[in-house]
Structure 1
């Protein structure tokens, strides 16, 4: 057992720390009458002015009676407050890095007798956080330098050809085209109903459920007028309601005839590899040939895979730190603390099966705390959190970035960040992004060229190893 005793005198109070192990200690708070009596008397006098006791007017109860009735309760309250404040101040003033919070040592403290004693000693057990010596430069990790192979490039191009088709607006409809129909309610003779229901209806070729409707539309030209029953077009009442935007009051029109005018014919065809297509994919660049386009696609693939490689080495480096950084814990204390902190959800027997997972989580947290202390650039600033939210609106929501819009967004951001869970989620994401960049710049990386498929296999293999652990 290791001993390192010293005292801190606060008036008549004594705070003693005894090192009971390499990563554990006991703290004694010794309190005398002079420490608590002034506050107890003050509390009793305050209560005396409000007390209601039979036989006495309010505020006129003799102090002796108030003390006899409520003295021990006030004494216990003030002593507990004094002990709590003294313990917290001692830990803070002495920069004592502890895990969890102090646990009362009931056995050493014993039974507190407020009737017979005027000096009390309280004992608390604490777990000392291990000292860490982390040197990111000493961690060697393979860095996947992923090269885009022709197969991956072709897969990407094929997807782009599908995702960015050629769109034209012909004069004549053919099967496969989409239509925009200006539709007005018609009577049984095909005449427009005066004041009747009107709607713009979009019809894609895949929506048409009837061969008769397909034949009716084939060869129709822009501006043509047709009588259509949309229940025949779509073959589904819910689709008709959605297409015509019918309210409950208008649902009787589901099977009604409409006079439909073709306002637009839209034709979508597979794109072809030409300069026009290259310009749509890279609008700010000039690409003159298919070979140049393929090289450019390869660069984009490698750029995306580079960010994945960065995250991969961060994950491996962090795992290596967690697994190999020497750390000692007071296991008995930590198990007791977990049970005490679980509010009855975890029993002493259950913690025996789950402690390993808890300790691993604690190792992660201690390493992250140590890195945050060692590298100030990991600190997430308030303005970074606000900018992250703003970027979401200007980026993913594609909102125009103007001065008026920025002012309007400021109150929206304030509202979002009032949600503590949402704010914490953003902070965790930003901190992880910073950690990824830090590990990329500090770790001892050994580059290894590989294909995208080889990289995927490597990621899968390491993910499985982590899961098995």
Structure 2
């Protein structure tokens, strides 16, 4: 067997593999004999089919399969031995002029095009500066969070007159252009949340209503959301999107969720007995909780800033034309328009992966199995806490994590998450982070 490599550009190469009969004859003969032992053909006992008969019937397909296996193994081993950093996968070079007899006497030659990763250095030092935002809870955000918590632990009442934020239980009847009830029209019993009403004029008309009061509303103006309209009228979203009609709304009941009192019973329910004893302590705890959530947003912002700055700093080339062909070859449904629109983002993410791998390799950063298990446990723990505030026992959580990682996709995704985390941790330990306090509303405006 003869393997050669020819550079066709800075980041492109063609590997030529020549295979002689001596390279494949033994493998093909062995495969034919194994097939003969398993074959069940009319006129022969199982395992007694002559190898010559199998060769005559299936020899060509067996030869093709063995040549393919030999090519895959040879190319994979060659790339590993030559320590070639390949992007994508090798692409076979089609040559219509080559014709093979496939009769066990052929000398085969196959060419594969490679896209190669560029050689580059990643240099990170204290001269690389990033802003680490410390997001503070502004008054509006804090008041909104406190209101939601108090409502969550509040009680339901039935006031006589509706007010902003109430829930109306109603009968809805479709009306004609002249205001009369439309014969055969849509009727529904619906729960109307006033905080979902988009039109201010319609909202005003629904405030101050009592049981059995009747008003007419434009359903499209009221909600501006086909999904909400579909649910209220018990119709499909497609029908809701096309619906242009007024509805007669009759109030059947008014519900109001009263906010919980700021008393010791409420504090104990939230934080445990005696942990918080007054309103000031309550606000402090809520502020800590809100700003803890903001910290996750700030960490994502910092990671994104690092990502963008390092990609811009390490502006190396990629074998773009090869990668475009590879993407088309491996994604049959990918259109030329989709490729043109998405390639820049693909290339940017690929560059980051190369930078990330370089950092991991140059700094001997280890990603241990224990790290992946811990990440899986943290992810699962967060999911379970969405449904129950009580944490799972450690042994049970560990068991779930192991089961979760047995799925290859879960394991690969978690590994990549740990890899990214360790990369960013290293960068932040070397670069200069300049902390900056910022109100939440101003922080949100940064990404608009």
What TM-score range do you get, normalising by the shorter chain?
Answer: 0.5 to 0.7
Matches within 5 A, 1:321-336: 321-336=310-325
CA RMSD across the alignment? 4.6
Match of 1:340 in 2: 329
Residues 1:131 and 2:111 aligned together: no
Which of 361, 374, 377 is 1:384 aligned to? Answer: 374
Which of 380, 385, 392 is 1:395 aligned to? Answer: 385
Q: Is the 1:24–1:330 contact (alpha carbons within 8 Å) kept by the matching residues of 2?
A: yes
Which of 298, 302, 323 is 1:313 aligned to? Answer: 302
| CA distance in structure 1 between the aligned counterparts of 2:413 and 2:51, rounded to whole angstroms | 57
Matches within 5 A, 1:337-416: 337-342=326-331, 344-346=332-334, 351-373=339-361, 374=363, 376=365, 381-388=371-378, 391-392=381-382, 395-398=385-388, 416=404
Scaled by the length of structure 2, the TM-score of the pair is: 0.62
Match of 2:162 in 1: none
Write the deviation string for residues 109-167 of structure 1: whole angstroms up to 9, x where unpaired.
833344596433222111112234334545422222334445554454444444444x7
Write the deviation string for residues 51-108 of structure 1: whole angstroms up to 9, x where unpaired.
8999999957585x77666655544433332222111111123322101111112239
Q: What's the CA shift for 1:383?
A: 2.5
Match of 1:30, SS?
strand
| CA distance in structure 1 between the aligned counterparts of 2:385 and 2:41, rounded to whole angstroms | 69
Residues 1:27 and 2:15 aligned together: yes
| CA distance in structure 2 between the aligned counterparts of 1:450 and 1:54, rounded to whole angstroms | 82
Match of 1:398, SS?
coil
| CA distance in structure 1 between the aligned counterparts of 2:91 and 2:308, rounded to whole angstroms | 31
Residues 1:304 and 2:293 aligned together: yes
Which of 141, 146, 163 is 2:130 aligned to? Answer: 141
Give ranges in structure 1 of 5+ residues lacking alignment.
Answer: 1-12, 169-173, 177-205, 213-266, 462-469
Scaled by the length of structure 1, the TM-score of the pair is: 0.59
Q: What's the CA shift for 1:16?
A: 1.6
The range that moved more, 94-103 or 274-283, is: 274-283
| CA distance in structure 1 between the aligned counterparts of 2:270 and 2:38, rounded to whole angstroms | 80
Q: Is the 1:23–1:130 contact (alpha carbons within 8 Å) kept by the matching residues of 2?
A: yes
- Larger radius of gyration, structure 1 or 2? 1
| CA distance in structure 2 between the aligned counterparts of 1:156 and 1:341, rounded to whole angstroms | 48
Q: Is the 1:310–1:440 contact (alpha carbons within 8 Å) kept by the matching residues of 2?
A: no
| CA distance in structure 1 between the aligned counterparts of 2:19 and 2:149, rounded to whole angstroms | 76
Residues 1:90 and 2:78 aligned together: yes
Pair 1:127–1:452, CA change in 2 (3 A): same
Q: Is the 2:100–2:106 contact (alpha carbons within 8 Å) kept by the matching residues of 1?
A: no
Pair 1:37–1:433, CA change in 2 (3 A): closer
Matches within 5 A, 1:84-123: 84-107=72-95, 110-114=98-102, 118-123=106-111
Match of 1:261 in 2: none
